[in-house]
Every structure is written in structure tokens, then in C-alpha cells.
Amino acid sequence: MGQFRLFVIFPEQTLYLRKAVSKQFRIDTEQNSPSMAAAIRNEALIKSMLHELELKDELEPFFVADIGDVVLKWKEWTEAMPRVEPFYAVKCNPDRVLLRVMASLGVNFDCSSKREMELALEAGVSPRRILYANTCKGPAHLAYAQSVGVDLMTFDNEEELHKIKRRFPTAKLVIRLKVDDSGAILKLSLKFGAEMAEVPHLLDVAKKLHLNVVGVSFHVGCNCQDPLAFAKAIKCAKDVFDLAKQRGSHMNLLDIGGGFPGHRGHVIAFQAFASAINGSLNDFFPPDTGVRIIAEPGRYFMTSAFTLLTNIIGKREALDENKCKNTMYFINEGVYGSFNNLIYHNTKFVPTALNEPSKNCRMEPSSIWGPTCDSVDRVWAKCLLPRMRVGDWLAFENMGSYTLACASNFNGFDITGVKYLLSQPLLKFFQNLPAWPALQTTFAAEHIVDVKASYLSYKAPILKNG
């Protein structure tokens, strides 16, 4: 496991915070630099960071996790969709530090297994702040949920109802509905969700078994490209509420799932999704209905918060399949590690060369390869890069989702570690939260070995008691 650090950085690079009159905490941005993503790209900062690492001969790959970016996403969410409670999908990135940060902000958790529930509880949330969002639960996992009091859970088939009746009959159930996910990059309807035609039977079975179905959930697919998909799905959910009402059941919860964009500068702005959702909620579930609205964002919170820095460990000149000259660069991360999305989700990660190119340097046809002994371990087949040297660094932004969570130790390579960036104003914001004592423990834990950024000439300790 790579070494962990907490780098504390200062106002000219990140968020400003102040206490509002309402005694809620408000985050203001200055100089169009809303998060540490801008600071990561800041030439002086990144060169200072890499120089320090090179002096210490620390050339292993590492993630830079921008805590400020996650807080900003939380702020955007609460302002854009104040009625919708986020239940962060832990499977997306189970980073312990950021789970604790989100818990301190009031974010709840969507968990799919015993281990994810354990992580959520360790982050400081109560069982009532966890949704067990797995429609086919393993018996041991279901027993664990009962033992700790996680009673809100999903289902989409009759067999699951009988299982829950045997093992957790007092659970609060949410029927997962299959909806149109044709506008998503990664479709989930092949595996999850009950067809609308199946819903009446499932509601009847639940009633016969004296199980409490409290709501409806759906998922429009990962990386949804169509905001109106949410509006259509919300209309379908209202139909299920009506079916339950006809059977004498009063539902009070709607889970609109995930699928929200996580990239900064996404082709479809988050606000477009929020607008479509808010409009449909007002049409079918207005506030006076008393229905609780929740969602399961994962990529939304994590994608842009993580930047991966990799080191070039080898290079050679070769000919590509068209017999054209190609420079092969070998880096110390690959598809068996944090680039697994290249295989499973066909994601593209754009490389940025961080070292100063030589004068008159031209962009050259290049390819990027991972460190393992498998020829499948190719990060980029064709790209244009300046001529680089062994020991130079490449950065890949938007690397926070389903990267570390899916990485392996194949071929004996360690899973890449994380270095955290935290601004001084944001630290002061955290210090005023009720959850600060637990956050302080997390920030000062053993695996965070440095709480000052020497390359920014900051010498005084910043994490103090009281």
C-alpha cells in the first residue's frame, strides 16, 4: 500500500469559507478556483510536490485526493436539489478519509454488502443513515444488517421477499423498478429491477407476508446522458405508489438512484439533471405529500476529486501495427490497478505530461503501457505526447470512481496510495462542525504521516486539540 499524506494548502489556491448568519456553513469561491482540481493543475504547486517526492526518491504512483472538491460537490447538491438526500454509493470509492468527511457533512450511505456497511458505520453514521441497496442479498450479509439495525433495503423479486421474511421480517422494503436506461453509458436494467408488469404481484406477495414496503427505487444507469430519463422514471415511480395505495399501503420514500455526472466540465451540466428532477418531483411528489426523496450518487462525488500521478519507468521506440514510428512509454500503473475501467467500462483517461518539455519539443505518436507482464495492460493505444524521459511524470484527472475500488495486486504490484489536499480555510470549516473530534482523529491517524506541506513553506502544526 502506498504511503498516505495530508497536505495542507492555503487560500490563494482553494476554497474560502465563512460562518453564515443562519449558523450554517457557507462556502464561497474566489478567482474561479472552486476546488483543488485547479490547484492540482497549478504549475508551481505540482512541480513543488514532484520535486519533494523526487528528493526523497518516492517515485511510486499516487493519487491526489482533493477534499475540497468533495465538499464543493456536496454544496452544489444541497443547493440544486434541497429535497433530495444523498446516500453516497460506497462501492464507487470506499476511501476511509472521504467517507468520514461526507459523514460529517450529513451525507448518508448506500451499501451493498456487510463490509460496506461496516465502513459506513466506522465513518460515524448511525444504521438509520444506511440504505442496504442490494436486491439479492447474501444470507450472512442480511443477518449482519439485522444485527446492527440497518433495516432499509431494496428488493426486486419474489424470492427475495421470502428470504427477508425468514431472516429480517421487520425490515423496511423498497421495491426497485426497472426503468429506461438507454441514455446511460453503463446500463443496469439487464440485472436489476422489476418490470412494471411484475409490480402488482410483488406488492401482493409482500402484503400476504406482512412485510412493510415503504417506497420505490430506480436507477437510470451509470453515466446517464439524458436528464429527462430521471423525469420519466419518477413518473413510473408515481404509478407504483398508486398501485400500493390501491392495496391499502402508504409509501413514503422515493429513491431516484444514481447516474449523475462526476467530471468537471461534463458535456451535460449537473444543473440540467437537477432541473429535470426538481420539475418532475414537483409534478408527481410535491412537498405536501410528505414523501422522503433520496438518491445514490457515487461518481458525482468522487470522479473529479482524484487525480492520478504516474511515473515513466521505461520507454522504447517501436513500430505500430501500421509500421509507423511509435514511442512506447511504460508507467507504474495499469489496467490491473487503477485503470481497470478501460476494460470494464470502456472509460478514457487523458494523460497530461507534467515535466517541462525541452525547447522545440514536438508532439509525437505515442502509446502508454502498464507495468505488468500482460500485453493487455495498455492504457493508451495512440496519443500525442511531447518527448519524455524515464522518470518524468504523467497525470490523469477524473480518476476517483471505480478505480481504487476495483484495483488488484496482480503481478505483485501494490494498490496505489493516496495523498490528500486540504485547504486551511476548509480545515477551519471542519473544526466548527459537530463531527470535528472524529474528523480530527481521521486526519491525524497513523496512515496520514505528514500534516504540513513543507514545499509551501508552512512549518507550524495545524491540527490541534480543542
Give the Å distances, CA to CA, from 299 to 33, 93, 260, 268: 21, 9, 7, 14
The answer to whether 398 touches 264, Cβ cutoff 8 Å, is: yes
Number of Cβ within a 10 Å radius of residue 321? 7
The answer to whether 220 touches 187, Cβ cutoff 8 Å, is: no
In 361-390, which positions are buried (b, 16+ CB within 10 angstroms) versus exposed (e)?
A: eeeeebbbbbbbeeeebbbbeeeebeebee
Give the Å distances, CA to CA, from 247 to 193, 199, 205, 207: 21, 12, 11, 8
Of residues 63, 10, 3, 4, the one with CA closest to residue 456: 10
Look up cell 422515493; give the residue: 254
Number of Cβ within a 10 Å radius of residue 189? 18
Q: Which residues contact 243 (CB under 8 A, 6 or more apart)?
A: 199, 200, 203
Between CA 72 and CA 137 the distance in angstroms is 34
What letter represents residue 215's amino acid?
G
The catalytically annotated residue of 236, 373, 383, 406 is 373
Number of Cβ within a 10 Å radius of residue 291? 20
373 is catalytic: yes
Grid cell of 283 as nine digits:
409534478
| Residues annotated as catalytic (active site), given as ranges | 373
